[in-house]
Each structure stands twice: as structure tokens, then as C-alpha cells.
């Protein structure tokens, strides 16, 4: 099949062939695209190649981190595949610089790569799992039902259930390949999207703190540590961003939330503005319509708020 990434696909296959030990790293604080990419790719490698030792490193969405034992000697001889990571500092693996080489597989926008020896990066893909699925499909690799389940989770979440703007024909092509393995899409959606009553009640309470400016089409919400600590975990607290989406009069919105270390992180979403520009100003980044950055303390946030509002 014709594909503009055919050379990259071939190189990736060659590299997988070449190495016995393959390490897969995601971005810090993984979402389902990061984790689904790692888990899906691990299974694709194991199901299509013999005698490979594939390790996923770093933290997991479900609290416990991945367990693995790798000696420095093994790490030195291994290839690191990074999935869903744009910048070196975001790679969730402290020995990332000790590997023999790095292959970056991603879908974030980039001006230049600050790490990696080889690349398979398609910024038009809605999810990194889309990049991996189309790669596997094009190269006729077997995708098991288990691999498909993980890959589909990334596709579903990064595309906002196939509603976001960059959802394209290839997204559905990938979905078709994955669904063809027999996965249960309703069950997967329930696994990801059903909310506990405790969290739902908390979100209702938070929704009263949203600042709306319908004349300027924006909304934002500040969540302090004291708002969630002891009630829900930080991952659940981040879902407060979603309560501002889907409002006709609000086309750009953001959640400013205090992480457990006291640093304020801002997650931007928009239907029509390039919010990655404002995120970049504060050392962050991301996609055109979904980006994030950190601004320091609440005092820093207050000082920058006007500039942020002007920028969105």
C-alpha cells in the first residue's frame, strides 16, 4: 500500500529486527494514548517477532508503575522506542540517555526534534495509536485483539470519541482495522468514560467555580489542591477540564490546576484557536487545539492571567 511513511516503516521494522531488548517509554503522567501506544506496540512486537524482550517503563494510568529488571549492561545494548512524547524532558525513563539508540514514534507537532536517531512522526494523526496501527496495517503485521483493545483506547480518547477536528479518514481506517479484531467498543468506552458518583458530585461542585466570558468565547476554571485533596486523586481532578467543553458560546477553555507538588498546570482546549502558541510561551506545548504548560505558583498564575486571557 502507498504510504508517505513507507521508508520510516521499513526502518522501524529493521530496528525491531536488529535488537533483542526493546524498551518502550511514554510521556510522564501517561494518558490512554501514551499507555495504549506502549501496550499495543509491545504486543505487536511480541506477536510478530521471535525472541524479543520488550519492556514498558515508567508510570501507569492505574497507579502502580511498570515493574522490570534491566541491568545497565542490557540498557546499553537496547533500543528505546518512545511513543506519544514530543520532547526529551517528557520521556518517562530516567536512563533514556544510556540506550544505544532512540526511535521516536509520535503525532505531536514539531519544529525540530530534540531527541531521537530515527523518527516516525505524523502530526496529522489524531493519536499516536493511529500512527502505530497504520504502520502495522501497512506492513502486514498481525494485530491481536488484546493489542487492538489498547490501541483503540488511544484512538478513542485522543480523538474525543471521534469528534475532534483532526479526526480524519486514517483515524477511521485505523478504527476499522482494530474493530475487525473483535474488540467490544461499548465495553471499552464504559471502561474509560463511566464516572464514579463521588467524582461526578465533585465535578458538579467545581462547575460553580467556572469563570465564563461568553462575549470573548472563553471559560476557565481554577482547581486548588485543597479542592480535591483527600476527595479524589489528581487524575480525576484533571477531568474537570471536560465540563467546559461542548458549549456553543465557549470556543476556548482552560483548566488551571495545582499539582500535588504545588505547581500550577494549565490545560487548554479550543475548537478554533491555536492554543499551542500560548502554551509554548510558558515552556509547554502540544497540539493546535489541545495544549498544556506549567506556570509556577498561584501567584505566578494570577500575574499571568491577563496575558493568558489576551492570548486565547
Query: Which range binds Mn ion by CB under 5 A, 78-86, 94-102, 113-121, 228-236?
Result: 78-86
Cα–Cα–Cα angle for 63, 257, 274, nearest 5°? 105
Beta strands in the chain (DSSP E): 21-25, 53-56, 79-83, 101-106, 118-121, 211-213, 218-223, 252-258, 264-270, 285-286, 290-296
Nearer to Mn ion, 60 or 216 (CB): 60
Query: Which range binds Mn ion by CB under 5 A, 77-85, 259-267, 288-296, 302-310?
Result: 77-85
We find the least distance from the C-beta atom of residue 187 to Mn ion, in angstroms, to be 22
CB 124 within 8 A of CB 5: no
Nearer to Mn ion, 37 or 78 (CB): 37
Residue labelled with grid coordinates 479484531: 181
H or E segment at 307?
helix 298-311
Residue nearest to Mn ion (CB): 33
Query: Which range binds Mn ion by CB under 5 A, 29-37, 56-64, 159-167, 222-230?
Result: 29-37
We find the least distance from the C-beta atom of residue 198 to Mn ion, in angstroms, to be 28
First-residue to last-residue Cα distance in the chain: 41
Strand pairing partners for 292? 267, 285
Q: What per-residue string of b and e applies to 219-234 under the rule 16 or more CB within 10 Å gives b? A: bbbbbebebbeeebeb
We find the least distance from the C-beta atom of residue 158 to Mn ion, in angstroms, to be 5
Residues 118-147 that bind Mn ion (CB under 5 A): 128
Query: Does 33 sit near Mn ion (CB under 5 A)?
Result: yes
Query: Does 158 sit near Mn ion (CB under 5 A)?
Result: yes
Nearer to Mn ion, 54 or 292 (CB): 292
CB atoms inside a 10 Å sphere around CB 14: 11
We find the least distance from the C-beta atom of residue 84 to Mn ion, in angstroms, to be 4
Size of residue set near Mn ion by CB under 5 A: 4
Query: Which range binds Mn ion by CB under 5 A, 141-149, 151-159, 169-177, 185-193?
Result: 151-159
Strand pairing partners for 256? 222, 266
User: What residues line the site for Mn ion (CB under 5 A)?
Assistant: 33, 84, 128, 158
Amino acid at each position: 500500500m502507498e504510504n508517505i511513511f513507507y521508508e520510516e516503516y521499513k526502518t522501524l521494522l529493521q530496528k525491531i529486527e536488529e535488537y533483542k531488548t526493546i524498551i518502550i517509554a511514554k510521556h510522564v503522567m501517561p494518558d490512554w494514548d501514551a499507555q495504549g501506544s506502549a501496550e499495543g506496540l509491545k504486543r505487536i512486537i511480541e506477536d510478530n517477532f521471535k525472541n524479543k524482550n520488550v519492556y514498558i517503563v515508567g508510570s501507569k494510568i492505574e497507579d502502580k508503575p511498570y515493574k522490570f529488571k534491566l541491568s545497565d549492561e542490557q540498557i546499553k545494548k537496547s533500543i528505546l522506542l518512545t511513543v506519544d512524547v514530543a520532547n526529551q524532558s517528557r520521556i518517562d525513563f530516567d536512563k533514556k540517555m544510556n540506550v544505544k539508540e532512540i526511535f521516536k514514534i509520535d503525532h505531536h507537532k514539531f519544529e525540530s526534534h530534540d531527541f531521537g536517531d530515527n523518527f516516525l512522526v505524523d502530526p496529522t494523526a489524531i493519536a499516536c495509536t493511529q500512527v502505530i496501527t497504520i504502520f502495522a496495517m501497512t506492513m502486514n503485521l498481525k494485530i491481536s485483539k488484546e493489542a487492538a483493545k489498547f490501541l483503540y483506547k488511544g484512538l478513542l480518547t485522543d480523538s474525543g470519541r471521534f469528534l475532534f477536528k483532526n479526526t480524519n479518514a486514517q483515524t477511521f481506517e485505523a478504527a476499522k482495522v482494530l474493530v475487525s479484531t473483535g474488540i467490544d467498543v461499548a465495553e471499552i468506552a464504559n471502561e474509560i468514560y463511566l464516572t464514579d458518583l463521588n467524582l461526578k458530585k465533585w465535578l458538579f461542585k467545581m462547575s460553580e467555580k467556572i469563570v465564563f466570558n461568553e462575549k470573548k468565547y472563553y471559560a476557565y476554571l481554577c482547581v486548588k489542591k485543597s479542592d480535591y485533596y483527600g476527595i479524589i486523586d489528581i487524575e480525576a481532578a484533571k477531568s474537570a477540564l471536560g465540563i467546559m467543553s461542548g458549549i456553543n458560546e465557549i470556543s476556548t477553555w482552560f483548566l488551571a490546576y495545582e499539582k500535588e507538588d504545588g505547581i500550577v498546570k494549565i490545560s487548554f482546549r479550543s475548537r478554533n484557536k491555536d492554543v499551542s502558541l500560548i502554551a509554548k510561551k510558558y515552556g509547554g506545548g502540544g497540539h493546535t487545539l489541545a495544549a498544556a504548560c506549567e506556570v509556577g505558583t498561584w501567584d505566578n498564575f494570577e500575574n499571568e492571567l491577563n496575558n493568558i486571557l489576551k492570548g486565547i
